[in-house]
Amino acid sequence: MDIVFRDVEHRYQINTPFEKRALYDIHVDIRSGSYVAVIGHTGSGKSTLLQHFNGLLQPTKGTVHLGDYTIVAGKKEKHLKPLRKKVGIVFQFPEHQLFEETVEKDICFGPMNFGMSEQEAKARVGEWLALVGLPEEVRHKSPFALSGGQMRRVAIAGVLAMEPEVLVLDEPTAGLDPRGRKEMMDMFANLQRQKKMTIVLVTHSMEEAARYADDIIIMHRGTIVRRGTPEQIFRNVDDLIHLGLDVPETVLFQRAIEQKFGIQFPEPCLTIEDVERSLQTLFTRVKRI
Amino acid sequence: MEVAVRVDDVSFQYANEQTYALQNISFQVYKGEWVTIVGHNGSGKSTLAKLLIGLLPPTSGTIHVCGIPLNEETIWDVREQLGIVFQNPDNQFVGTTVQDDVAFGLENRGIQKEEMKKRINEALKKVKMEDFIHHEPHRLSGGQKQRVAIASAIALQPNVIILDEATSMLDPSGKKEVLHVMQSLRREHDMTVISITHDLNEVAKADRVIVMNKGKIVLEGTPAHIFSYGEKLEEMGLDLPFSLQLSRRLKNNGIPMTADHLTMEGLVSELWTLYSAMSNIVTK
């Protein structure tokens, strides 16, 4: 499912003294099956943007195309239920939305709501638990008896159970410990590869964006200011700093080395493995001279 | 040195749980000190924070805050000494506007109106939310909400502030700003900071670090001392600073590093020394 935004604007509380323009001039093209990271300051419009991905918010100007759906500003779109099955949004702290007595019931709630029989949903719970890396034992436990990280996985399993084509994630790793964060990010990367899902990740972590995304969108004060591959985005370090954004440590380190050694690496180092390889090459070369 | 928080042999068990969430925890935090508590999810850090503010009573052991023993009778006196900011700001709003929300705690303490206004403005300015004074907290973004929660805590000018992953929803520059505000409050008011976090930059700035694992304190010391445990920290699911990780990887690749570097400057400069030595040998 391709996603296309054309000249989208969103104003909150329109025609009131509190009217606020949260988004403007938004043009987005997201290819089906790609992995896009959205980064930007708090309040830059990231969360407003992602609520347009399944029509939770509708544009106050412009057009949003989501696969076969077209949402046009000013026309109230009513039949959005099938769309919401296709686009799963995992909000910040999704574990706060758990409500059922057991993990099984909580995960089945979504698919049953979209017409799956209880029998089928229950039969598939094991599969969904495995997708998010939870053991079968948690099935009959209360979700509230689990740890924070496990609760978040249950909430995500509930979204995956609707078998969305697009998975939109709003800071899915906030508050997790480093191991939990890495496991969760690897899980999303797997979903993209194995299930050909489109992933839209809203994150503050430049490291996550650099390591996992095919494409990066940078938002600033309600609009998109940069768009490109991680290599393109992180080649321009000064530009990022100018926008008040952080630079991945790998890129900062690369810059420090380049300045000290008076050399230039051909590509930006986006992961610690990239840095390792570049230094390895550098030191092997000097040995060979 | 004056002790701000003293925890003596505290254990805690949740009802219906077999194991202890906290086991024989003892430590002291001195006035004006910045102590960071780290540990993976479920290590008992947040339970400890709840005990410190009297939300949960210890199963055994005692807690003193600014010299006051914490118990049912003294809980309100103890809370006057404390400010706490939790991870998820949505759970801590009471006011219908940002201003009302920050005012809530001040009103509870019977602060005069003029003084209250002054403190609200100052606190909101410190977290860069002064333009949002009449906004509804629920319409703010996640990061903005967290700033307001922080403003509400600092407006009370507590002797001890507890940050329970309070910066986890902020972007990197927001995190830096909040840490900066905390540092300056610490200097101006001799405020004590207990920060529970996964953020390595926050850990590196602490005076002292306490590492928790499975409800126990397993390590305690300066950030440099703690990071020197390298793999042991990784086994507990914790991260190591980038420079340290890279130093170790390079060593494994046969680049003869002499130290595990905590800073990027240190690492770059040793690499340069090694590199120039190697190229000298070769040219000779």
Mark whether B215 and B138 lie in a shared domain: yes
How many domains does the structure of chain B reveal? 2
Q: In chain A, which residues have their Cβ closer than 8 Å to the Cβ of B92?
A: none
Predicted pLDDT of residue A267: 87
Roughly how many angstroms between the first and final C-alpha of chain A, as a whole number? 53
| Contact by Cβ (8 Å): B178, B199 | no
CATH class of A32-59+76-247: alpha beta
Query: Best of A18, A204, A241 to disrupt the B interface by mutation (most B CBs within 10 Å)?
Result: A204
Mark whether B128 and B175 lie in a shared domain: yes
Q: In this predicted model, which residue has the larger pLDDT, B124 or B234?
A: B124
3-state helix, strand, coil in chain A (%, to 5): 45, 20, 35
Pairing of strands B22-30, B3-12: antiparallel
Query: What number of other Cβ atoms are within 10 A of residue B235's Cβ?
Result: 11
Q: Which among B41, B147, B283 has the least Cβ separation from residue A177?
A: B41
Token output for A72: 């046009």
Alpha carbons B249 and B118: distance in angstroms, whole number: 53
Cβ distance B246 to A272 less than 8 Å, yes or no, reads yes
Query: What number of other Cβ atoms are within 10 A of residue A260's Cβ?
Result: 14
Alpha carbons A93 and A84: distance in angstroms, whole number: 19
Predicted pLDDT of residue B201: 75
Query: Best of B37, B41, B252 to disrupt the A interface by mutation (most A CBs within 10 Å)?
Result: B41
Predicted pLDDT of residue B118: 94
Mark whether B257 and B189 lie in a shared domain: no
Give the chain A residue whose CA is nearest to the CA of B275: A283
Q: Give the pLDDT band (50/70/90) at residue A170.
A: very high
Mark whether B15 and B131 lie in a shared domain: yes
DSSP annotation of B70 reads P
Angle between helices B242-252 and A272-288 (to 10 degrees): 40
Q: What is the mean pLDDT of residues A154-174?
A: 93
Q: Which among B87, B249, B264 has the least Cβ separation from residue A252?
A: B264
Predicted pLDDT of residue A34: 95
Mark whether B192 and B276 lie in a shared domain: no
Q: What is the mean pLDDT of residues A4-22?
A: 91
Cβ distance B172 to A40 less than 8 Å, yes or no, reads no
* pLDDT per position as a tens digit, A30-89: 999 999 999 988 788 998 999 999 999 999 999 999 998 899 998 887 788 889 889 999
| Residues near B205 by beta carbon (within 8 Å), at least 6 away in sequence | B34, B179, B183, B223
| Contact by Cβ (8 Å): A138, A101 | no
Alpha carbons A284 and A280: distance in angstroms, whole number: 6
Alpha carbons A268 and A265: distance in angstroms, whole number: 7
DSSP annotation of A145 reads G
Q: Give the pLDDT band (50/70/90) at residue A153.
A: very high
| Residues near A232 by beta carbon (within 8 Å), at least 6 away in sequence | none
Tell me the percentage of chain A whose pLDDT exceeds 70.
Answer: 99
Alpha carbons A103 and A38: distance in angstroms, whole number: 31
Give the chain B residue whose CA is nearest to the CA of A203: B171
Cβ distance B239 to A178 less than 8 Å, yes or no, reads yes
CATH of the domain at B224: 3.40.50.300
Name the segment(s) of chain A with CATH classification 3.40.50.300: 32-59+76-247
* Residue ranges making up the domain that contains B273: 243-283
Q: How many CB pairs under 8 A join A and B?
A: 126
Q: Give the pLDDT band (50/70/90) at residue A241.
A: confident
Cβ distance B275 to A250 less than 8 Å, yes or no, reads no
Q: Give the pLDDT band (50/70/90) at residue B168.
A: confident
Residue A289 has pLDDT above 60, yes or no: no
Give the helix/strand (H/E) hosting B194. Answer: strand B192-196
Q: Which residues of B240-268 are buried (b: 16+ CB within 10 A; e: fewer)?
A: bbbbbbbbbbbeeeebebeebbbebeebb
Cβ distance B143 to A42 less than 8 Å, yes or no, reads yes
Mark whether B191 and B252 lie in a shared domain: no
Query: Best of A179, A181, A207, A247 to disrupt the B interface by mutation (most B CBs within 10 Å)?
Result: A179
Q: Give the pLDDT band (50/70/90) at residue A154.
A: very high
Mark whether B273 and B140 lie in a shared domain: no
Q: What is the mean pLDDT of residues B239-264?
A: 86
Q: In chain A, which residues have their Cβ closer than 8 Å to the Cβ of B169?
A: 42, 92, 171, 174
Edge-to-edge strand list for the sheet holding A223-228: A87-90, A166-170, A198-202, A35-40, A215-220, A223-228
The helix/strand/coil state of A147 is: coil
Residue B107 has pLDDT above 60, yes or no: yes
Mark whether B141 and B89 lie in a shared domain: yes
Cβ distance B253 to A147 less than 8 Å, yes or no, reads no
Predicted pLDDT of residue A197: 95
Element counts in chain B: helices (H) and strands (E): 11, 10
Pairing of strands A215-220, A198-202: unpaired
Region of poorest pLDDT, from A149-158, A178-187, B168-177:
B168-177
Q: In chain B, which residues have their Cβ closer than 8 Å to the Cβ of A173?
A: none
Roughly how many angstroms between the first and final C-alpha of chain B, as a whole number? 58
Mark whether B222 and B256 lie in a shared domain: no
Q: What angle do CA A199, A203, A204 make, to 5 degrees?
A: 165
Alpha carbons B150 and B85: distance in angstroms, whole number: 6
Cβ distance B242 to A249 less than 8 Å, yes or no, reads yes
Longest CA span, chain B: 79
Residue B70 has pLDDT above 70, yes or no: yes
Q: In chain A, which residues have their Cβ closer than 8 Å to the Cβ of B140?
A: 43
ipTM associated with this complex: 0.70
* pLDDT per position as a tens digit, B49-61: 999 999 999 999 9
* pLDDT per position as a tens digit, A131-151: 888 999 999 999 988 877 889
Please give, rounded to a whole number of angstroms, the shortest distance from the CA of B55 to a CA of chain A.
Answer: 19
Q: Give the pLDDT band (50/70/90) at residue B43.
A: confident
Mark whether B168 and B255 lie in a shared domain: no
- In A, what residues contact B, Cβ < 8 A? 12-13, 18, 40-43, 47, 92-93, 96, 147-149, 171, 174-180, 204, 206, 244-246, 249-250, 252-253, 256-257, 260-261, 272, 275-276, 279-280, 282-283, 286-287, 289
Give the chain B residue whose CA is nearest to the CA of A183: B237
Mark whether B135 and B154 lie in a shared domain: yes
Token output for A88: 């799963």
Alpha carbons A94 and A167: distance in angstroms, whole number: 14
Give the chain B residue whose CA is nearest to the CA of A254: B268
Token output for A179: 């191991």
Q: Which among A13, A244, A279 has the least Cβ separation from residue B173?
A: A244
Mark whether B31 and B15 lie in a shared domain: yes
The residue type of B200 is L
- Phi–psi pair at A199, nearest 5 degrees: -115, 130
Beta strands in A73-178 (DSSP E): 87-90, 166-170
Predicted pLDDT of residue B284: 54
Give the chain B residue whose CA is nearest to the CA of A207: B242
Cβ distance B170 to A249 less than 8 Å, yes or no, reads no
Predicted pLDDT of residue B282: 62
| Contact by Cβ (8 Å): B222, B210 | no
Predicted pLDDT of residue A288: 65
Predicted pLDDT of residue B75: 93
Q: Give the pLDDT band (50/70/90) at residue B125.
A: very high
Predicted pLDDT of residue B283: 60
Q: Give the pLDDT band (50/70/90) at residue B235.
A: confident
